[in-house]
Amino acid sequence: MSVPAADILTTPVPAGPESEAAGRASGGWLRSAEITIPGAVLAALLFFCFIWPLVYPVPKPIGGSLLTTNLPLWSPGHILGTDTVGDDVMSRILYGGRVSFEVAAAVQVIGLVIGGLFGMLAAYRGGWLEAVLMRILDVFIAFPSLVLVLAISDSLGPSETHVIWALSAFSIPAFGRVARAATLRLRDQPFVVAARLSGSRAWRIQLLHLVPNMLPQLLTFSLLGAGITIILEGALDFLGYGIPPPGPSWGNMIAAGQSFMSVYPRFVLVPSIFLLVSVLCLNLLGDGLRARWGVR
């Protein structure tokens, strides 16, 4: 909904014939840097969001003291300062990052399992099953998922679980489409035909021959999808349909900071930078792996 995003990623950019030749020409280190740098930044972000608050006394993300509001950056005890109600910004960033990454991971896993399974089944079995499943997928694609997302979060009440299910409305059809295309490509390959001729059952061929072969494609796709999910989760928070407001999340911080933007731009800028860096790293990593594994 937010970016043309959700679809940007279902339509792969042609890998470009220069990707292999260029890797050799410009030295191996640059190629691996395309993967290691975003990977390392992501690992650091994940470490600070999930593990750091367990081992280091980070202030609480909510319930800060009203005596210490609007502290500037680099204040003692509050590296990124405090917000208008005295909550530590750094802590809200870390706990908000947890929400973003948890939602992103959950939505991708749900999409991968459900969408991937249906897409593979449809393409492998063909016939009426494919026709029915693909028409359902068509409906989902023509259906503005936003309506479903907003309706779900509006009526079930805002919460992390509801956000996850609502956003899965985007990921399931997207994975379905990718898995179907991958299966169609693999279905008549010699190794699948050989497996079929040697009497393997359909489920065995699908699980042991098709799945491992399309996993790289689905995994890179899910990295790119995770970036989109983080943006969408923030959008739901921003519209007031996501994590309920005092709870820490990047979208909430941006929405709350919006009112003070002309006085304290940092309330918007700090979470925005974290959001941008996370999504950028996910996209770079996805792109890098796509080029390395030669998937399209």
Binding site for other proteins (CB under 8 A): 1-8, 10-11, 13-18, 22, 25-26, 135-136, 138-139, 141-148, 150-152, 154-156, 227, 231, 234-235, 238-239, 251, 254, 258, 261-262, 265, 268, 272, 275-276, 279-280, 283-284, 287
Give yes or no for a contact between 243 and 237, defined as CB atoms under 8 angstroms apart.
yes
Give yes or no for a contact between 242 and 236, defined as CB atoms under 8 angstroms apart.
yes
7 or 77: whose CB is closer to other proteins? 7
Shortest distance in whole angstroms from residue 205 CB to other proteins: 27
Kindly list the distances between the CA atom of residue 208 and the CA atoms of 176, 192, 204, 212, 214, in Å, as whole numbers in the listed order.
19, 10, 6, 7, 11
6 or 186: whose CB is closer to other proteins? 6
70 or 200: whose CB is closer to other proteins? 70
Shortest distance in whole angstroms from residue 46 CB to other proteins: 17
Query: What are the DSSP calls for 14-52, one per residue?
Result: P--THHHHHHHHT-HHHHHHHHHHHHHHHHHHHIIIIIH
Q: How many CA atoms lie within 13 A of 89 on its CB side?
A: 29
Shortest distance in whole angstroms from residue 67 CB to other proteins: 29
136 or 195: whose CB is closer to other proteins? 136
The alpha carbon of 168 is separated from its chain's Cα centroid by a whole number of angstroms, namely 11
Shortest distance in whole angstroms from residue 196 CB to other proteins: 26
71 or 236: whose CB is closer to other proteins? 236
